[in-house]
Amino acid sequence: MEVKLLTTKEVAEKLHCSTHQVSHLRKHGLIRGTRYAKYWMYTEEDINNFILKNIGQDFWHFRDMKPEAARKKYAV
């Protein structure tokens, strides 16, 4: 099985947000990433699952939340 890895920029384009927003999602534990050298990489499957689990959710204020509260509110 071939695993497709996405860069932070590619994830941002897929989610229609900034690369900073992707970093915040990762730091809050809402998406999983792996650091390779100085770059963060994400599996396409993880990002697609994140999108499907969170259809209709509003992520406008999630950065103001503590990571535990964000993980509890949003499906992870």
Q: Indicate the length of the chain as a whole number.
A: 76
Q: Where are the domains of the chain?
A: 5-73
> What's the fold here for domain 5-73?
Multidrug-efflux Transporter Regulator; Chain: A; Domain 2 (1.10.1660)
CA dist list (Å): 13 to 9, 17, 18, 27, 42: 6, 7, 8, 18, 13
Q: How confident is the model at residue 76 (pLDDT cuts 50, 70, 90)?
A: low
pLDDT, averaged across the chain: 89
Mean predicted confidence (pLDDT) in 6-16? 96
Report pLDDT for 67. Answer: 80
Q: What is the pTM of this model?
A: 0.82
